[in-house]
Amino acid sequence: MQTRLADFIRDTAEGREAEAILRKCVHCGLCTATCPSYQVLGDDLDSPRGRLYLMKRALEGAPVTRKTQLHLDRCLTCRACETTCPSGVRYGRLVDIGRAVVEERAPRRPLDRLARSLLAFGLPRRRLFGFVLGLGRLARPLLPGALKAKLPRAVAPAGEWPAPRHARRMLALAGCVQPSLAPSVNAAAARVLDQLGISLVEAPGAGCCGALRFHLNYQEKGREDMRALIDAWWPLVERGEVEAIVMTASGCGVTVKDYVHLLAHDADYREKAARISALTKDLSEVVPLEAIAQGAARGRVAFQSPCTLQHGQEIRGTVEARLARAGFEVTPVRDAHLCCGSAGTYSLLQPAISRELRSRKLASLQESGPDCIATANIGCLSHLQGAAQVPVRHWIELLDEALRRKMPA
Ligand code: SF4
Ligand code: SF4
């Protein structure tokens, strides 16, 4: 695609990167076939190709309107288009640059601004989020249906976290919303890794990975969260006390693996960011398949592979293989590449599209009659839980239960 970027961005690092990405697009439209927002809305401007065109115009200095912003807001940042594109267009990186430019040039309506700033303030604060969640659950009968569906009916207790006893240690990210919504996930990961000879530890003071605020387009505040998290982890990393940083939420994983790019222009943090990204692994990458004992037949599980796992981190089939090895029958899922509609705060800001995508995803997940749905990301888990007819769990909880049943009493 030919581009002539405007003076305000041409000679910046973002401008050069955006131009290189735009030039790769040959406008073939293959990406529209796997774009969830295009599938729901059917408008080319809600497809990757249409959005690339809108961003190109904005970067060339054409007037930016709320309509431009709306089409970018409707993008789930699922990056299915990147997986499909034969020309290697890095849409995810471009949309970060494009959104920042559009945000500056098209002021949002006051209510939209307020909703976004409340989310950006409240969600990354673990204690505040836990408090509000607790209040919401108490007031559940009084809440409107849409909000009610967002609240988990019950939160399973975390269970035992084994004391560190192994020479091999890995660092886990507690995250911001996961400790309140599903405290059992990291504890289950700690129990499974403990059986494999690895102690999982959390660093005091480690908070949000920055994805929430970054994707709400508070990009600089998101970077502040990233730097704060690096600072919390750094002493353990610098002393070589941990061999990996383990992500139990693929949405956080894709972001932390990308610190190397997101902080590349920060002279104080770029080297630390590169080291942190290199150490970061999805949980499914650190649980060796051969370490899982072949299990007796268990229930039927449909695995919902989060976009941040399959498109963002390009990890496919690893969770399914581990569940199958433990004895679960992993059922086939139609259109497994499509987003479930969660996408961080998208489900709150674009509820209609999000609900439609969830209905479609649940129809395909439940088609083969599974006993349970498994996933690898807290956002998808709580979103699907709101309407699923079977329990929705993190896959490590299933593996933890399967392994514990094999242990002698
Ligand atoms: S598939 Fe790739 S090259 Fe084709 S229109 Fe989409 S982004 Fe452009
Ligand atoms: S990131 Fe997802 S929603 Fe956005 S344009 Fe690409 S495929 Fe469509």
Q: What separation in angstroms does the CA of 177 have from each of 121, 122, 151, 252, 354? A: 13, 10, 12, 11, 19
pLDDT for 63-120, tens place per residue?
Answer: 999 999 999 999 999 999 999 999 999 999 999 999 999 999 998 999 999 999 999 9
Return the best residue to mutate from 21, 24, 49, 51 for the ligand 1 pocket (most ligand atoms within 8 A of CB): 49
How far does the centroid of ligand 1 lie from the alpha carbon of residue 104, in Å?
26
Given this model, what pLDDT does residue 408 score?
44
Sequence-separated (6 or more) residues with CB below 8 Å from residue 196: 287, 288, 291
The residue whose CA is least distant from atom 8 of ligand 2 is 35
State how far the Cα of 313 lies from the Cα of 306, in Å rounded to an integer. Answer: 10
In terms of Cα–Cα distance, which of 204, 215, 212, 216 is closest to 129?
A: 212
The string over 14-48, giving b where at least 16 C-beta atoms fall within 10 Å of a residue's C-beta and e elsewhere, is bbebbbebbeebeeeeebbebbbbbbbbeeebbbb
Sheet strand arrangement including 300-303: 329-331, 300-303, 372-375, 392-394
Task: Compute the distance between CA of residue 20 and CA of residue 24 in angstroms, rounded to an integer.
Answer: 7
Q: Are 300 and 368 in contact (CB under 8 A)?
A: yes
For 352, the token pair is 């209609």
Under-50 pLDDT residues of the chain: 408-409
Q: Report the residue among 25, 49, 81, 97 best suited for mutation to probe ligand 2: largest number of ligand atoms under 8 A from its CB.
A: 81
Alpha-carbon radius of gyration of the chain = 21
Q: Is the CB of 365 under 6 A from ligand 1?
A: no
307: Cα separation from own chain's centroid: 7
Give me the pLDDT at residue 17, please. 95
Closest CA to ligand 1's atom 8: 25
From the CB of 31, is ligand 1 less than 6 Å away? yes
Does this model's pTM top 0.85? My answer is yes
Provide the pLDDT for residue 409: 39
Contact indicator for 186, 174 with CB cutoff of 8 Å:
yes
